[in-house]
Amino acid sequence: MIPTGLADKLYWRGGMSGLWHCFKRREGGVYISLCGHFELKRSGGQACSRPQPTLRCTRCDIAEMKRRGKEESLPANE
């Protein structure tokens, strides 16, 4: 059985602070960061590469790891 976290559509987006946050779509078409601190009205497009771990919001990174059943940060998509 495939964990449901692998089917999640998550979107990494750069923030004003220089850190990248991971967003998940919520009801009403709003996207909220996994850390719970940011909200977007649009995802910003389908394609998005996961940034290097040093550029990620730690809370978003840990939340994504838990959702995907991993014990460490996922690799960056370049």
The label of the residue with tokens 């995802």 reads 43
Q: In this predicted structure, what is the pLDDT of residue 43?
A: 65
One-letter amino acid for residue 57 of the chain: C
Decide: 40 and 10 in contact? Cβ < 8 Å: no
Q: What pTM value is reported for the model?
A: 0.80
Decide: 73 and 56 in contact? Cβ < 8 Å: yes
Q: How far apart are alpha carbons 30 and 23 in whole angstroms?
A: 10
Query: Residue 7 pLDDT more than 90?
Result: no
Query: Residue 44 pLDDT more than 70?
Result: no
Indicate the DSSP class of residue 66.
H
